[in-house]
Structure 1
Amino acid sequence: MKSLLIAASLIAMPPAFAAIPMLNYDCPNDVQIHTDENGPVYINGQEAKVTQDKNNTVVAKGEGVTVQITLNDDGTASVSYTDPDGNTGVCDPAEGD
């Protein structure tokens, strides 16, 4: 019974990702990235599927775009993207942030 309860609690727990800060980034080709603190990640206003790539890197996929968010040791984030055509680029903080 105890192992069943532990298994059930693991299923109900959301996946643990690197602490995602609240971000608003603009990328080339009209790609906008928004994250709430600790997730979720939105690409062009649509919630993306998020996976952990490395301890300090989160990968989000949605709207045909793959976004890589790397949390730097100084607490800042580096954000890059790949669009459906294979174009890649670095994203910058949205103006006003």
Structure 2
Amino acid sequence: MRKILLLGTLTLFTGVAHAGDIPLFNVSCPGNLAVSADQGGPVYINGKVVASSAVDDRHFQVKTAEVSLSISVEDDDSVTVKYSDKHGASGLCEAVDD
């Protein structure tokens, strides 16, 4: 029984490690949202860490009570961030130079 629990725990950590493929980016979204990530995560909205989840190795999601973000790593390794808020507004975020 202990071996099964240990294997399940390792599988869980492997899944979490897979989600660490978030690239470094810095964007500005409407509604005064500054969104950024360090290489491998975490994702920040206005300086606060938010939870993210991997959809696959090139797509990630962030959901808060106020906003949802879809983060895509393109074939040229650029990052596209789309947002939608709780009022139905949606659009693309713009890259910001550091």
TM-score over 0.5 for the pair = yes
Aligned to 1:8: 9
Q: Gapped runs of 5+ residues in structure 1?
A: none
Q: Is the 8 A contact 1:66 1:83 kept in 2?
A: yes
Q: Is the 8 A contact 1:49 1:61 kept in 2?
A: yes
Structure 1 runs (4+) greater than 6 angstroms displaced: none
Q: Is the 8 A contact 1:18 1:57 kept in 2?
A: no
In structure 2, the CA distance between the partners of 1:70 and 1:62, relative to structure 1 (3 Å rule), is: same
Identity of aligned residues (%): 29
In structure 2, the CA distance between the partners of 1:63 and 1:42, relative to structure 1 (3 Å rule), is: farther
Can you list the C-alpha shifts for 1:17-55, whole angstroms capped at 9, x where unaligned?
272111111011101101111111111222222122344
Report the aligned-residue RMSD.
2.0
Match of 1:32 among 34, 44, 53: 34
In structure 2, the CA distance between the partners of 1:44 and 1:80, relative to structure 1 (3 Å rule), is: same
Match of 1:65 among 57, 64, 67: 67
Q: Distance in 1 between matches of 2:83 and 2:5?
A: 41
Instruction: Give 1:63 shift.
Output: 5.3
Q: Distance in 1 between matches of 2:5 and 2:56?
A: 30
Instruction: Give 1:66 shift.
Output: 0.7
Can you list the C-alpha shifts for 1:57-88, whole angstroms capped at 9, x where unaligned?
10112251111110001110111111121100
Q: Distance in 2 between matches of 1:8 and 1:30?
A: 39
